[in-house]
Amino acid sequence: MSAEVAYKQVFGWPDSLKKNPTHYCPGCGHSIVHRLVAECLDELGMREKTIGVPPVGCAVLAYNYFNFDMVEAPHGRALAVATGIKRVHPDKLVLTYQGDGDLAAIGTAETIHAANRGERITTIFINNAIYGMTGGQMAPTTVLGMNATTTPGGRDPRLHGNPIDISRMLAVSNGVVYVERCAVSSFKQIRKAKKAIKKAFQCQLDDLGFSIVELLSPCPTNWKMSPKAAWAWVNEEMVKTYPLGVIKDETGYEDKK
């Protein structure tokens, strides 16, 4: 019986995550963020009160991994679908999980307007600066000079336009109360990202408005890098275009250190 006293569980499989192997590539940021979302929902006790909307993108099968109710949305329309859900179930936690093409190219209008309406929804935004699912084409967030399969010789602003900073654009809206940009490319950043995600959910639970956490997320496959080099590229290069930190915080929460 003394074992009960001697052992305390400090790590385990989150309830909010199904025990299915994912299809993500080695070193992919998606699987890290899945885990963080699941841990946060567990800690908030919200798994059974959550409805999620995955993107069309590499995370399209997220309903096979998350252990709560989920409904597919057409490419880019997650926040419109989530709006419909939230209006039917205002007492549930509604989240969208979206890539950069989904959220900031084809779905830009749905993103901006849901945020601007102040929908009580939380968006987890995976910025990997590339179209992962379709094989490495330019994303709206592809940084200047970066090679994508549709930016031969690197992204040139005159030819391909500029990388878009949608999080800062959203921060301008009165409907948006919390915007933070984090990365999942170091242990320290991953811990920070988790805090941000939890805070964004709390913001919804407290009925404050729209919240979004952007996560700079490695795509070793389409960046044609090793996982280790991909982490380094996020930390050294990508952050120059997308500096990390809180972009907007009107939650009024006292951050506990």
Kindly list the residues in this chain that would bind ligand TPP in the complex (CB under 6 A): 55-59, 75, 99-102, 126, 128, 130-134, 139
Burial of 225 from C-beta contacts in 10 A (0-12 / 13-18 / 19+): middle
Q: Which of 255, 221, 223, 253 is nearest to 238 (CA)?
A: 223
| Residue 79's binding partner out of ligand SF4, Mg ion, ligand TPP, none, with CB under 5 to 8 Å set by partner kind | none
Q: Which helix (H) or strand (E) holds 79?
A: helix 78-88
Task: Read off the tokens for 167.
Answer: 């999080």
> In the bound complex, what is the minimum distance in angstroms from residue 142's beta carbon to another protein?
24
Say how far apart CA 219 and CA 116 lie, in whole Å: 30
Q: Which residue is nearest to ligand TPP (CB)?
A: 99
**Angle of helix 78-88 versus helix 108-116 axis, rounded to 10:** 30
Q: Which stretch binds another protein (CB under 8 A): 57-65, 199-207, 232-240, 242-250?
A: 57-65
- Per rule CB under 6 A, is residue 58 in the interface with ligand SF4? yes
Which residues are CB-neighbours of 25 under 8 A, at least 6 positions away? 219, 220, 221
192 binds another protein (CB under 8 A): no
- Alpha carbon distance 129, 53 (integer Å): 21
Partner from ligand TPP, Mg ion, ligand SF4, none binding residue 221, C-beta < 5-8 Å depending on class: ligand SF4
Q: Which two tokens stand for residue 212?
A: 């979004």
Helix (H) or strand (E) holding 35: helix 29-44
Cα 34 to its chain centre, rounded Å, is 9
- Which of 15, 18, 25, 251 touches ligand SF4 (CB under 6 A)? 25
| Binding window for Mg ion (CB under 5 A); candidates: 17-25, 61-69, 122-130, 203-211 | 122-130
Residue 77 interacts with ligand SF4 (CB under 6 A): yes or no: no
Q: DSSP string of 142-180?
A: PPTT---TTSTTS--HHHH-PPP-HHHHHHTSTTEEEEE
CB of 9 to Mg ion, least distance (A): 35
Which of 14, 16, 28, 103 binds ligand SF4 (CB under 6 A)? It is 28
| Region from 79-87, 163-171, 182-190, 227-235 binding another protein, contact rule CB under 8 A | 79-87
Query: How many Å apart are CA 156 and CA 171, to the nearest integer?
Result: 27
220 lies in the site for ligand SF4, by CB under 6 A: yes
Among 100, 110, 165, 180, the residue binding Mg ion under the rule CB under 5 A is 100
Q: How far apart are CA 47 and CA 14, in angstroms?
A: 10
What are the residues binding another protein (CB under 8 A)? 47-51, 53, 60-61, 63-64, 66-74, 77, 80-89, 92, 109-110, 112-113, 117
What are the residues binding ligand SF4 (CB under 6 A)? 24-25, 28, 30, 58, 128, 132, 219-222
